Amino acid sequence: MAEYLPEITTESVCSLEGKRELIEECESIWKQMEECQSKLMRLEMGTSRMSDAKLSFQLPRMLMKALRAEHNQWQNRSPEIISTNPDVLLSLGKEELQKVKNQLEMVLSTVQSKNKQLEEDLKREQQWYEEQEQLLYAFQRKANTQVGQLSTKSLKMRSLNELENKILQLKSVKEELLDALGKFLSDHFPLPETGRSAKKKGSSEEPSVELITLHEILEMLVNKLMSTPHEPYVTINDSFWPPYIELLLRSGIALRHPEDAKKIRLEAFHM
């Protein structure tokens, strides 16, 4: 703003006559003010001699009239020029312009300083905002990673729990099937009436052999197949009742060894 203001010199350019004329006008105005002050003092002295009743009655009316007269005078009065001398007016105008220029330069300096401070604050705020954005991005990535890990872990735990539940269910079903099978075999395939023991042919002094049930034979075949699938054969001895062996072979539940007739195996139904 200061670039567009014209340079104003501080030296006074008015002549001595202009100064003298301005001083004379000021003295004339001062004399008029003194006359008005003396009139006001005489008016106050005259009003002080009135009685209290008359003063209380007339004073407000007098003040009203004086205020109205002053109001009308100011309404009808036109602005008076201090001086008609061009040199005086030019000097006063330059002085006023110089004051306005100085004030505007102060305002401009203050505004520029404020703008500089605001620019520095803006840079700091932008830097802080960028740092906060980077932190937020890092937190989001870490949170997403943790959520993904938790999801994967929870999914694995859920699958493991489901698998354990299924295993427990299968074990429960297995126990039920084994109990049902044992009951069925004991009811429908009992041992011979002679009991669980039979004597060998020959001398009566030889010890008797205890026969095993069909349930026990099937359990032996299943355990052998599961424990050693590469060698699933079970050797037949005198404790195996021959009718049970023949029943298993004829029904296709068991198979005889192709080279050794005393060995049998369970049919691999699960294959």
What is the per-residue pLDDT across 90-141, written as a single tens digit (0 to 9) for each?
A: 887 888 899 999 999 999 999 999 999 999 999 999 999 999 999 998 888 8
Query: Is 241 inside a domain boundary?
Result: yes
Look at residue 7 in the predicted model and tell me its pLDDT: 52
Query: Is 69 inside a domain boundary?
Result: yes
Domain boundary among 45, 63, 84: 84
Is the predicted pLDDT of residue 34 greater than 90, yes or no? no
* Beta carbons within 8 Å of 232's beta carbon, 6+ residues apart: 221, 224, 225, 265, 266, 268
**Paired tokens of 128:** 């802080």
Residue-number span of the structural domain to which 205 is assigned: 193-266
> 219-235: buried (b, 16+ CB within 10 Å) or exposed (e) per residue?
eebeebbeeeeeebbbe
What is the per-residue pLDDT across 132-172, written as a single tens digit (0 to 9) for each?
A: 999 998 888 888 887 777 777 777 788 888 888 889 998 88
Domain boundary among 38, 66, 84: 84
Look at residue 45 in the predicted model and tell me its pLDDT: 67
Which amino acid is residue 19, in one-letter code? K
What is the per-residue pLDDT across 200-231, written as a single tens digit (0 to 9) for each?
A: 444 444 446 788 888 889 889 988 988 898 89
- Taking CA atoms, 135 is separated from 75, 122, 139, 147, 228, in Å, by 72, 20, 6, 18, 61
Query: Is 92 inside a domain boundary?
Result: no
pLDDT-derived band of residue 30, with 50, 70 and 90 as boundaries? Answer: confident
Query: Is 261 inside a domain boundary?
Result: yes
Strand partners, 210: 197
Query: Is 171 inside a domain boundary?
Result: no
Looking at the 3D structure of the chain, how many domains does it have? 2
pLDDT-derived band of residue 271, with 50, 70 and 90 as boundaries? Answer: low
State mean pLDDT over 233-247.
92
Domain boundary among 84, 114, 138: 84
State mean pLDDT over 75-89.
68
Q: How far apart are CA 216 and CA 211, in angstroms?
A: 10
Query: Is 119 inside a domain boundary?
Result: no
Query: Is 50 inside a domain boundary?
Result: yes
Q: How far is CA 190 from the centre of its chain?
A: 75
> pTM to 2 decimals?
0.38
Look at residue 42 in the predicted model and tell me its pLDDT: 76
Give the torsion sign (CA, 240, 244, 246, 251): negative
What is the per-residue pLDDT across 55-80, written as a single tens digit (0 to 9) for each?
A: 556 666 777 777 788 777 777 766 55
Query: Is 103 inside a domain boundary?
Result: no
